[in-house]
Amino acid sequence: MTTPPDKPKRRSALGSDPFLKVVREDETVGNAIENERETEEIISPSEPPPRQEKSFENDPEFKATKKTLEDLGKELDEFHRDPKNYNRKKLEGLVKDFIFELKTLLVDSGYFARIREAMTGDRTSWTGVLKGLRRFIQSDEVDDYGLDRQFEMAIKPFFDFLYYKYFRIEVSGIQNIPYEGRTLLVANHSGVIPMDAAMMKVAIFNEHPARRDLRFLVDDFVFHFPFMGTIMNRIGGVRACQENAERLLNHDEIVSVFPEGIKGISKLFKDRYQLERFGRGGVIRLAMKTKSPITPVAVIGAEEIYPLIFKSHILARPLGLPFIPFTPLFPFLGPLGVIPLPTKWKIHFGEPIQFNQYSSKDLNDDILINRETEALRQRIQAMIKLGIEERQSVFGM
């Protein structure tokens, strides 16, 4: 799509909208641009789309960041090729450069101020910020599953930043998510600190015309830790168990599950995008029992944010964690190592699979369930393969 030179190129919140897609296929390019403006007005959601900043691409600071990112990408590619003989010094220097530039970029673009404003309603005073931190230990009115709308809106600018600016997520197939009714999203799980669930939530909220809420199932161990369990719960996560999933689906919610579980997030870098076993068929059983369609989802790019080169189970045991990750950056750079690599993401929602034809007695047919589970796994694997073939580079610069 060509853009007029005077109009700054923008990544629209509705960029991958299903309606636009149809228009683009049928009409000529010139008409499509006009239609884009119209459709944007017609289906503009109840809340305004995120404020557009001044054009990032022409900003000298952004150019500097982009240059560092390109270098970083090259270095990482080199690291992928030969991790054993790689000299880490250069990479560390580049990451430090990158973080410094990113900081300037963020402060200038006013993202920090916006996050602070959303948290506190106050742009200027730092006592307001302290008051805003109250939200992390106290809740407001919540819904039946503990989702706190005010808290969610307060931290949304941070996730919007990750979504639009950091991972530059491209979404396709959003039309496969219905306007109402239950849906089970099944996706590949990745990233040592899994951000895919949160990004899928932001994607559906920002891109889907109905602005639906996504509920995600969170592994047990999270709820043992202070803050983590409560915060997950306040932004729409519930403990991953059959009872919760069934209840949510019976109340016509969108539920996302990651059947790979812990095995998925602890995948070594060399095993990336190789789907692990899909549990014991709980997903298919759930879909059959609640008669909900399954939408397979492929998340591309998320598996490279923390290149896991080694994991220790022994060190993790006393902490109650499933494993301790070792990435090229993590224990060596200290807290800076927790910052994920800025890969470019693509989230593809596949076509829904219906399970209406099965009756309750099929629930006991283990062979059938295993076959369906394997078919689903193959389908998501194929979607991932296609996505990887399509992309130009990991960092998408």
Partner 1 sequence: MTDSEDKKSSPADKLNEERSFMGKLDPTDKIIVVGAHTILGEMLIHHLEKNESIQDYWVIDLHAPTKTTYKKMHFIRLDLIAPGADAKLADQFEKIGATVLVHCASKNNPTLNWVYAHELEVIGTLNLTSAAKAAKLRKFVFCSSTVVYGASAKNPNYISESYPLASRPDAHFVKDKVDAEKQVAKLYEDAPQMTVTVLRFCLILGPRSENYFTELFRRNVVPTILGYDPLMQFIHERDALEALKIAVFEDHRGPFNIVGKGIIPLSYALRLSGKVQLPMLSFLAYPTVQLLWNLQAVAVPGRLLDFFKYLWVAEGEKAKKLMKFEARLSSKEAFLEFAKADRLERYSLAS
Instruction: Please give the residues from 75 up to 104 whose contact with partner 1 meets the rule CB under 8 A.
Output: none
**Closest among 250, 116, 130, 131 to 183, alpha carbons compared:** 250
Residue number with CB closer to partner 1 (75 or 148):
148
The partner residues of 346 in beta bridges, in order of sequence, read 170, 300
Q: Is 225 in the site for partner 1 (CB under 8 A)?
A: yes
Count residues near partner 1 (CB under 8 A). Answer: 26
Q: Is 229 in the site for partner 1 (CB under 8 A)?
A: yes
Residue number with CB closer to partner 1 (88 or 239):
239
Total length of the chain: 397
From candidates 48, 226, 334, 335, binder to partner 1 by CB under 8 A: 226
**Distance of alpha carbon 201 from alpha carbon 213, whole angstroms:** 7
- Up-side HSE of residue 129: CA atoms within 13 Å toward CB? 9
Residue number with CB closer to partner 1 (67 or 247):
247
The partner residues of 294 in beta bridges, in order of sequence, read 184, 353
Angle, helix 88-109 to helix 111-120, in steps of 10 degrees = 60
Assess contact for 160 and 106: CB atoms under 8 A: no
Q: Is 140 in the site for partner 1 (CB under 8 A)?
A: yes
- Up-side HSE of residue 97: CA atoms within 13 Å toward CB? 17
Residue number with CB closer to partner 1 (176 or 290):
290
**Distance of alpha carbon 97 from alpha carbon 64, whole angstroms:** 10
Rounded least distance, CB 251 to partner 1, Å: 11
From candidates 224, 280, 317, 385, binder to partner 1 by CB under 8 A: 224
Q: Is 239 in the site for partner 1 (CB under 8 A)?
A: yes
Residue 276, helix vs strand vs coil: coil
**Considering only 108-116, 177-185, 243-251, 261-269, which stretch makes contact with partner 1 by CB under 8 A?**
243-251
Interaction pattern, residues 119-138, with partner 1; x per rule: CB under 8 A: ------------------xx
Q: Is 223 in the site for partner 1 (CB under 8 A)?
A: yes
Assess contact for 264 and 258: CB atoms under 8 A: yes
From candidates 39, 172, 230, 370, binder to partner 1 by CB under 8 A: 230
From candidates 139, 172, 175, 381, binder to partner 1 by CB under 8 A: 139
- How far, in Å, are 59, 99, 120, 129, 374 from residue 115 at the CA level? 21, 18, 9, 10, 43
From candidates 142, 316, 353, 368, binder to partner 1 by CB under 8 A: 142
Residues contributing to the site for partner 1 (CB under 8 A): 137-142, 144-146, 148, 220, 223-230, 233, 238-239, 241, 243-244, 247
